[in-house]
C-alpha cells in the first residue's frame, strides 16, 4: 500500500513515501514536520487543517495523499513568515485577531483564497468564506476585520 | 503598626526569586503559576511587571505553570488571574526594584531617593550610571521573603499598565507551531486511549495481533482494568489502531444511559443535597396583589475546544515528567501521584499552551492516559491525544440546570417576596477538589473505588450551582434553595462561569417578565430596583451605546433585550444589549456591552475576552445542547453538537466605563450570563412570547408561538 507521491508544497517539489490512504495532514505534520496545519476534528467539520490545493481551500485531515500526486499544496507556512508575512497574517496581528490562535492557520488559508478572488469583501462575504472554520474562543469579529484589512493592504489602500 | 498584608499568592510564594530573575543578555525572567489559555494573561502579567520594574515588556521571558520552576498558584480559573497573580507580581516587582535601588545606593554612596530605574538601568539624578539590574543581580538577595512594604507606582504614572500591548504569544500562533500539539521529542511513542462509554462499563478482551493486522502496522496495547490504550510509532498508525480498537471494544455492565425527554428536568426530584440560603433584603409593608412564577432550563454543555486534549509523559527511573495544558499543574501533580501510587516529589508537571480552554476540559484526563502508558513503556516520551468524539463525550460537561423563580408583587409591580430554587449537578470536580483525583482513567483501573458524589464549589470561591443566584437588585429577602444533585446523568465539572449562565439567564429573564407585567421599560424597571452606582452606570452606559431609547417597538420579529450582572457578585459589572431577528431561526445581529472592571491592565486584551465571552455564550444559548441519543450515546462529532459559525456571529461592541482608581476586577466570564439573558429578552421582545428553555432553537420558538 505504501508508495512515493510527488507534489508541489509551498512552491517546491516534494516527494514523500506514505501509505496511499494516509491523510495529507498526517504527512504534513508527521513526515514533513510542518506544524502550522492543525488537527481539530479529523472529520472535515472544523477547518483547523485547511490548506490550499490548487488554490482551493481544502480540509487536509481526511484528504488521501494519493490524490495529491502532481498537485499544488500551500500551507499556512507557505503563505508567509514572521519576516515576510502574508497580508492576512500581518492583519491578524494588527487586529490582535485571536485568543488561543489554534483556528488561525485554517482561517488564513480560507481568507487568502477569498482575497485572491475578491480583495474587497463585505463583512457577510468574509463570514460566508469562513463558514467552514470554527473558532471556539469567539475571535470572529476581529478575524473578519483582519481579513478586510488584509484586503485593503493588498489593494494598496491605507489599512 | 500592623505588618503589611501580602497578596495571597505572594504569601504562598514569598521569595522574590520565585517570581523574578535577571538573566543573560538583559532578559528578565517572570515566573507565574497562572497559565496562558488564550486569554492573554501572560501579556497582562508582563505589563504589570514591566511597570513596576521599569523594564520594557520586550525584555521579558515568561515561565508559567511549571511545578519545578514557577510559583504554585492553584487553578487558572474564575477570572482571578489578574487579581491574584497580577497583585502578587505588582508587589514583588516593586520590592525587587526597591532592593536593587538600595544596593545601588550603597555602591554609589547616595540616597536611594536620588536613584531611579529606566529600561533596567540605574539613573542617578537623571544621569545614567554604570549599574543596572544585571550588574547588581549578585548584590541583591532575592531569596529573602517579600515584605510587602515597597510603594506601588500610582495610576497616573503608568506607562505599560492600561496600554493595549499586543499579545506576546500571538505571533508564534499565527506562524505555526507553539502548541503542546506540536511537540515532538525524539523517539516519541503515540498513544490513544479507550474510555468507558458509560459509568462502570466493563471492557472485554482486545489483542495486539488483531489490532496490528487491521491497522496495518505494529501496534502495542496497554491494558489496566477497564482502561486500555493503543500505542504506535506514528500518529497515523495510532489513529488507525484506535479506530480498530474502538470498533472491537465490547463494553458491558455498569450503568448505560437511556435517553430522557429533558436532561435538565431529570435533575428535578433526583437524589440531592439541599441547602437554603437566606439573603437579607429590604423590608416591605406593601401588600402582595399578585404572584408570578417561572421555570428556566439550561442543558448540559460541552467545552468544545477546537483542539483535542493532548499530553506528553516520560517515565524514567521511577520519576514522571508530564507536559500538559491543564489549568492547574500543582493539583494535577497531586492527583497523578494518587492515581499512580507515587510521591508528588517524583513528578514534574509543566504547562504548555493548548487551544482555548474554558474550564475543566480533558487536559487532566489525557495527562493520566499519557502517564499510565509512559509507566508501561519507560524511557520514552509518550504522547496521548483524545479524539473529537472523546472531546464531546467523555470529558466533563457544564451541568444542566433548572432554575425556578417566584415572586409576590405589590400594586406597583415590585416584588414583596422572592424565592428561587436551583437544581444542578456539581460545578467543581477538578483534580484535587476535595482531595479527590477526579481523573477519568483512574476510575477504570483495576480495584478502583467508585467515586462518591462530589460536593460543589465552596461559597468562598464564589459558589458553583449558586454562582450569581443572588440578585443584586434591592429586593425583599431572597430565599434561595440549592438542590445539589448527587449523581447527574453526565459527568460535570467547571465550565466557564459555572452556574452563572443558568442563574443570570433565569434572574434577568424573570426581571424582564416583571417589567413587562408592570408595563415598564425593562431598563427603567431595573434602575428602579438598583442602588449600586456601578451597576447603574453599566446599564446606563449600554443603553447609551446601543441607542436603547430608540429601539424598535418589538413584536414583528426584530427584538432588543437588555440584561445585567456582576460576575460572582464581586468581579466585573457588565450590562449587555442584544439586537436580533427571530423568524424561522434566531439571527443575532449586534451585541453591546458596557463593563466596569476597575483598573483594566490591557484594554484591548480585555475587550477580546469580553467579545469572546459574548460569542461563546451566544452559541450556548441559541445552539448548544448535549443530548443522550436513542442508542444511549453522547455526541461524537461537531454535526451532533453544532456551535455558532462565522455567518451566525453578531457584531460585538465593548466599552469599559470603570475607573482606573478602582482595583482590577476579573472579567473573563463576565459576559456569559448577561448575554444569555439579553438574548432571551430580545426573543421575547421580538415575538411577544418567551422561551424559557435554552438553547432557544427554532423548535422551541415555534412551540412558544403556538402557545
Ligand atoms: S481537522 Fe480537518 S476539518 Fe477539522
Ligand atoms: S482563537 Fe481559539 S479557536 Fe479561534
Asked if residue B13 lies in contact with residue B88, where contact means CB atoms within 8 angstroms, the answer is yes
For chain B, give the number of residues: 707
Cα atoms in the 13 Å half-sphere on the side-chain side of B1? 4
The CA distance from B688 to B705, in Å, is 8
Let me know if the fold of B8-175 is the same as that of B401-427+464-706: yes
Domain B401-427+464-706 falls under CATH 3.10.20.30: no
CA distance B125 to chain A (A): 39
Q: Is the CB–ligand 1 distance for residue A41 below 6 Å?
A: yes
Q: What is the pLDDT along chain A (159 residues), one digit of tens a residue?
A: 678 999 999 999 999 999 999 999 999 999 999 999 999 999 999 999 999 999 999 999 999 999 999 999 999 999 999 999 999 999 999 999 999 999 999 999 999 999 999 999 999 999 999 999 999 999 999 999 999 999 999 998 766
In angstroms, what is the span from residue B523 Cα to ligand 1's centroid? 44
CA distance A62 to chain B (A): 11
Confidence of residue B512 (pLDDT cuts 50, 70, 90): very high
Q: What is the pLDDT of residue B1?
A: 42
CA distance B685 to chain A (A): 25
- Which residue carries 459559525 as its cell? B645
Instruction: Taking residues B503-514, report their average pLDDT.
Output: 98
Q: What is the pLDDT of residue A127?
A: 98
- The closest-lying atom of ligand 2 relative to the alpha carbon of residue A138 is 4
Q: What is the pLDDT of residue B77?
A: 78
- What is the residue-averaged pLDDT of chain B? 95
User: Residue A122, Cβ neighbours under 10 Å: how many?
Assistant: 11
- The closest-lying atom of ligand 2 relative to the alpha carbon of residue A107 is 4
Question: Looking at beta carbons, which residues of chain A come within 8 Å of B167?
Answer: 96, 98
Question: Looking at beta carbons, which residues of chain A come within 8 Å of B605?
Answer: 96
Domain B8-175 falls under CATH 1.10.3720.10: no
* pLDDT, tens digit, 9 for 90 and up, residues B110-120: 999 999 999 99
Instruction: Taking residues B372-379, report their average pLDDT.
Output: 98
CA distance B645 to chain A (A): 6
- Asked whether the beta carbons of residue A144 and residue B307 sit closer than 8 angstroms, the reply is no
Q: What is the pLDDT of residue B78?
A: 66
In angstroms, what is the span from residue A144 Cα to ligand 1's centroid? 20
Asked if residue B544 lies in contact with residue B550, where contact means CB atoms within 8 angstroms, the answer is no
Give A 29-58 residues with CB within 8 A of chain B: 29-30, 33-43, 45-46, 48
Domain range list for chain B: 8-175, 180-253+305-391, 401-427+464-706
In angstroms, what is the span from residue B21 Cα to ligand 1's centroid? 42
A47 to chain B: nearest residue by CA? B306
ipTM passes above 0.90: yes
Instruction: Taking residues B182-197, report their average pLDDT.
Output: 97
Instruction: Taking residues B166-188, report their average pLDDT.
Output: 92
Instruction: Taking residues B213-226, report their average pLDDT.
Output: 97
Instruction: Taking residues B257-278, report their average pLDDT.
Output: 97
The topology (CATH level 3) of B180-253+305-391 is Aldehyde Oxidoreductase; domain 4 (3.30.365)
Full-prediction pTM beyond 0.90? Answer: yes
Q: Is the CB–ligand 1 distance for residue A103 below 6 Å?
A: no
Give B 297-316 residues with CB within 8 A of chain A: 304-308
Which three three-digit cell numbers place residue B462? 464564589
CB of B649 within 8 Å of a chain A CB? The answer is yes
Burial label for A14, CB within 10 Å (0-12, 13-18, 19+), is: middle
What would you report as the CA-atom Rg of chain A, rounded to the nearest whole angstrom?
15
Instruction: Taking residues B336-346, report their average pLDDT.
Output: 96
User: In which element (H, E) is residue B194 found?
Assistant: strand B189-194
B385 to chain A: nearest residue by CA? A39
Bridge partners (DSSP) listed for residue A49 = none
Amino acid at each position: 500500500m505504501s508508495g512515493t507521491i510527488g507534489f508541489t508544497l509551498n512552491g517546491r517539489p516534494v516527494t514523500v513515501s506514505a501509505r496511499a490512504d494516509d491523510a495529507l495532514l498526517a504527512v504534513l505534520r508527521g513526515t514533513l514536520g510542518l506544524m502550522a496545519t492543525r488537527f481539530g476534528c479529523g472529520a472535515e467539520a472544523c477547518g483547523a487543517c485547511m490548506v490550499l490545493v490548487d488554490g482551493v481551500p481544502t480540509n487536509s485531515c481526511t484528504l488521501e495523499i494519493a490524490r495529491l500526486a502532481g498537485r499544488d499544496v500551500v500551507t499556512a507556512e507557505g503563505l508567509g513568515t514572521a519576516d515576510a508575512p502574508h497580508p492576512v497574517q500581518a492583519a491578524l496581528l494588527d487586529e490582535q485577531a485571536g485568543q488561543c490562535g489554534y483556528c488561525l492557520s485554517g482561517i488564513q488559508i480560507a481568507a487568502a483564497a477569498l482575497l485572491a478572488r475578491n480583495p474587497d469583501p463585505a463583512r457577510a462575504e468574509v463570514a460566508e468564506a469562513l463558514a467552514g472554520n470554527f473558532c471556539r474562543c469567539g475571535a470572529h469579529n476581529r478575524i473578519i476585520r483582519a481579513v478586510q484589512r488584509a484586503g485593503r493592504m493588498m489593494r494598496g489602500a491605507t489599512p | 503598626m500592623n505588618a503589611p498584608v501580602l497578596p495571597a499568592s505572594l504569601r504562598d510564594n514569598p521569595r522574590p526569586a520565585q517570581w523574578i530573575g535577571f538573566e543573560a543578555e538583559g532578559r528578565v525572567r517572570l515566573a507565574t503559576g497562572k497559565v496562558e489559555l488564550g486569554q492573554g494573561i501572560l501579556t497582562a502579567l508582563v505589563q504589570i511587571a514591566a511597570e513596576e520594574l521599569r523594564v520594557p515588556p520586550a525584555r521579558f521571558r515568561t515561565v508559567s505553570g511549571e511545578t519545578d520552576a514557577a510559583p504554585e498558584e492553584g487553578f487558572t480559573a474564575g477570572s482571578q488571574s489578574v487579581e491574584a497573580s497580577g497583585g502578587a507580581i505588582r508587589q514583588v516587582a516593586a520590592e525587587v526594584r526597591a532592593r536593587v535601588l538600595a544596593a545601588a545606593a550603597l555602591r554609589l554612596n547616595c540616597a536611594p531617593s536620588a536613584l531611579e530605574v529606566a529600561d533596567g538601568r540605574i539613573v542617578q539624578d537623571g544621569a545614567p550610571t554604570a549599574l543596572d539590574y544585571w550588574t547588581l543581580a549578585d548584590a541583591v538577595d532575592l531569596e529573602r521573603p517579600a515584605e510587602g512594604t515597597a510603594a506601588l507606582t500610582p495610576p497616573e504614572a503608568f506607562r505599560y499598565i492600561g496600554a493595549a500591548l499586543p499579545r506576546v504569544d500571538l505571533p508564534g500562533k499565527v506562524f505555526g507551531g507553539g502548541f503542546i500539539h506540536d511537540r515532538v521529542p525524539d523517539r516519541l511513542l503515540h498513544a490513544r486511549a479507550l474510555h468507558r462509554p458509560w459509568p462502570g462499563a466493563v471492557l472485554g478482551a482486545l489483542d495486539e495481533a488483531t489490532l496490528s493486522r487491521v491497522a496495518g502496522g505494529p501496534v502495542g496495547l496497554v491494558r489496566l482494568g477497564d482502561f486500555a490504550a493503543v500505542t504506535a510509532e506514528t500518529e497515523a498508525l495510532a489513529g488507525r489502531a484506535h479506530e480498530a480498537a474502538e470498533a472491537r471494544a465490547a463494553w458491558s455492565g455498569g450503568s448505560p444511559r437511556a435517553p430522557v425527554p429533558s436532561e435538565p428536568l431529570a435533575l428535578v426530584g433526583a437524589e440531592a443535597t439541599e441547602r437554603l440560603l437566606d439573603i437579607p433584603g429590604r423590608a416591605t409593608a406593601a401588600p402582595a396583589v399578585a404572584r408570578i412564577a417561572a421555570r428556566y432550563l439550561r442543558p448540559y454543555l460541552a467545552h468544545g475546544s477546537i483542539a483535542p486534549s493532548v499530553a506528553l509523559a516520560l517515565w524514567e527511573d521511577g520519576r514522571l515528567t508530564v507536559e500538559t495544558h491543564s489549568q492547574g499543574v500543582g493539583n494535577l501533580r497531586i492527583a497523578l501521584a494518587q492515581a499512580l501510587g507515587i510521591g508528588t516529589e517524583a513528578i514534574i508537571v509543566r504547562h504548555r499552551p493548548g487551544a482555548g480552554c474554558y474550564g475543566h476540559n480533558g487536559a487532566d484526563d489525557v495527562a493520566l492516559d499519557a502517564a499510565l502508558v509512559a509507566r508501561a513503556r519507560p524511557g520514552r516520551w509518550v504522547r496521548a491525544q483524545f479524539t473529537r468524539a472523546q472531546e464531546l463525550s467523555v470529558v466533563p460537561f457544564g451541568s444542566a440546570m433548572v432554575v425556578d423563580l417566584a415572586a409576590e408583587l405589590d400594586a406597583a409591580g415590585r416584588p414583596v417576596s422572592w424565592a428561587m430554587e436551583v437544581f444542578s449537578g456539581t460545578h467543581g470536580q477538578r483534580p484535587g477538589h476535595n482531595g479527590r483525583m477526579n481523573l477519568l482513567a483512574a476510575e477504570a483501573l483495576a480495584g478502583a473505588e467508585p467515586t462518591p458524589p462530589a460536593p460543589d464549589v465552596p461559597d468562598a470561591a464564589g459558589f458553583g450551582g449558586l454562582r450569581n443566584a443572588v440578585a443584586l437588585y434591592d429586593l425583599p429577602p431572597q430565599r434561595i434553595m440549592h438542590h445539589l444533585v448527587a449523581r447527574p446523568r453526565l459527568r460535570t465539572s467547571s465550565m466557564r462561569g459555572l452556574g452563572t449562565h443558568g442563574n443570570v439567564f433565569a434572574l434577568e429573564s424573570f426581571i424582564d417578565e416583571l417589567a413587562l407585567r408592570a408595563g415598564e421599560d425593562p431598563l427603567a424597571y431595573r434602575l428602579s430596583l438598583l442602588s449600586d452606582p456601578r451597576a447603574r452606570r453599566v446599564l446606563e452606559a449600554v443603553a447609551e451605546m446601543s441607542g436603547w431609547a430608540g429601539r424598535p417597538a418589538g413584536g414583528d420579529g426584530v427584538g432588543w433585550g437588555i440584561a445585567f450582572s456582576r460576575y460572582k457578585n464581586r468581579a466585573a459589572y457588565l450590562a449587555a444589549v442584544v439586537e436580533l431577528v427571530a423568524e424561522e431561526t434566531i439571527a443575532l445581529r449586534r451585541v453591546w456591552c458596557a463593563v466596569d472592571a476597575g483598573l483594566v491592565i490591557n484594554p484591548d486584551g480585555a475587550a477580546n475576552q469580553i467579545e469572546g465571552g459574548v460569542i461563546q455564550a451566544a452559541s450556548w444559548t441559541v445552539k448548544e445542547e448535549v443530548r443522550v441519543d436513542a442508542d444511549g450515546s453522547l455526541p461524537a462529532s461537531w454535526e451532533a453538537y453544532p456551535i455558532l459559525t462565522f455567518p451566525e456571529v453578531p457584531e460585538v461592541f465593548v466599552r469599559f466605563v470603570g475607573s482606573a482608581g478602582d482595583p482590577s476586577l476579573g472579567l473573563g466570564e463576565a459576559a456569559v450570563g448577561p448575554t444569555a439573558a439579553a438574548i432571551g429578552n430580545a426573543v421575547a421582545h421580538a415575538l411577544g412570547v418567551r422561551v424559557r428553555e435554552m438553547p432557544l432553537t427554532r423548535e422551541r420558538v415555534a412551540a412558544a408561538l403556538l402557545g
